[in-house]
Chains A and B, each alone.
Chain A
């Protein structure tokens, strides 16, 4: 398999990033990712990401918590069977509070687990294809191309109005 060359276009303008993303997606180059210093709806829309699965983790956590909260309250109440001020042992109305709190708590747990598993962090693999300017005032669009196409990809980025950063040098031997 031929090694790929990674090239990053550094943009100062959000709209140029969007047009670069659209251009890359239509081209034969491999579009990898965007580093952006600010959250941007325009870029998010252009990326057309798949819907995140995190919501399902939250929902499952919530359902588990709801059942768990009620189960906890009912189980502990039946251990003692104390009738307090004429209320039934299993008093559903006040147990809603425990159920509700547990729903929220376990939704949060589910959400955090979802985030940890779905964001694929930590990713050391892409650290070397990072430019510190992306934490400053630039948007970085990372793309890869086959060996020999570097100039055309650089050209592409420059036409879109970007500064270009090439990660692998031309004659460099492949590193593990």
Chain B
């Protein structure tokens, strides 16, 4: 690998990272402005939606690498390493979760309600401690997996920063053979997959379903983690597409990679819709008022019914018919667009799940410019985190020697 190549590999050039810093600043300013306004709960609602969405993206994208390793898949090639770059958002996600504690009075509508015996589970200390440990375990497992996965790719010729030196020394002490590293990856990756399912179920129950404390759906946790993997794959395709567009053939991400991961994305689009339908079906047949009100408010009554149809079309019907086509799946630009639209759709889906519980009796969907600006801030955070990772570990993007 020549020096010229190394230079071109730096994805986030200083200019772009400035743009994302400005995004973050805009997000922070809008959020603080929202807190001081008459409706701080609106700012917290946007914060919660974004926390859930962007954390899910990071967790889901890292899951891809773990799943590829566990299934011994070879087709993913450079995508697998690329997906590990999303671990950089884990610390940020954890801090964002801690900040959620400040807004607890605005985001948990059940604080003032009589919970009829559910207080044992739904009380602030227990909820925050269990989610705190859940996320901590999930993220530590993610980092443990990454620590081993990076070791296989490590290129000692790259410029050494502080972090690289630290990790390199830790590896040196271990003196492991590639086989040992792989078996360690299997252990940590397997635990990460398990923790992903359990912790994301917990987050789904605690931070999304509990907003309507009298409504229960046992499948909601599974629905939440399937959705997380779905958006995670979407974000991974976006990242791969950006790198492919910027660097062309040299990036090592081929048309086939886009085709294959496009198929997986398509599969998870179906799975997401399936989990949605399976819940709906049981509630429809059971016809118990405690369960049906949740669905009726969101899908049949104004103003939420329009949002429900938008989400369904944007996240399922649209991608389903578009992704049937093989050629579209192989075009990075088109996949970038579709995945971005789907992620926006899942953002709206979070709004659909949380909105009716957080803002009672609204005549219009509580959606304004400030929500968009706060989301922009989170986008900036994610981009900076991923960009930083790719800068520190440029071997994640395997640039082929193209002389």
Contact = CB atoms under 8 A, between A and B. Distances in A.
B284 A93 contact: yes
B166 interface: no
12 contacts: A59-B324, A85-B287, A86-B287, A93-B280, A93-B281, A93-B284, A94-B281, A94-B284, A94-B285, A96-B277, A96-B281, A97-B281
A111 B287 CA distance: 39
A103 to B, nearest CB: 12
Interface string B258-285: 0000000000000000000100110011
Interface string B277-298: 1001100110100000000000
Contacts of B324: 59
Contacts of B281: 93-94, 96-97
Nearest to A84: B285
Nearest to A59: B324
Interface of B is mostly: helix
Interface of B: 277, 280-281, 284-285, 287, 324
A86 B284 CA distance: 11
Which 3 interchain pairs have the tightest Cβ spacing? A93-B284, A93-B281, A93-B280
Indicate the member of B285, B287, B324 with the most A CB atoms within 10 Å. B285
A59 B280 CA distance: 27
Nearest to A62: B324
Contacts of B277: 96
Contacts of B280: 93
A44 B281 CA distance: 45
Nearest to B327: A51
Interface string A76-95: 00000000011000000110
Given A85-B287, A94-B285, 10 more contacts: A59-B324, A86-B287, A93-B280, A93-B281, A93-B284, A94-B281, A94-B284, A96-B277, A96-B281, A97-B281
A93 B300 CA distance: 14
A85 B287 CA distance: 9
A85 B284 CA distance: 11
A15 to B, nearest CB: 19
Contacts of B287: 85-86
A84 to B, nearest CB: 10
A80 B280 CA distance: 26
A96 B287 CA distance: 18
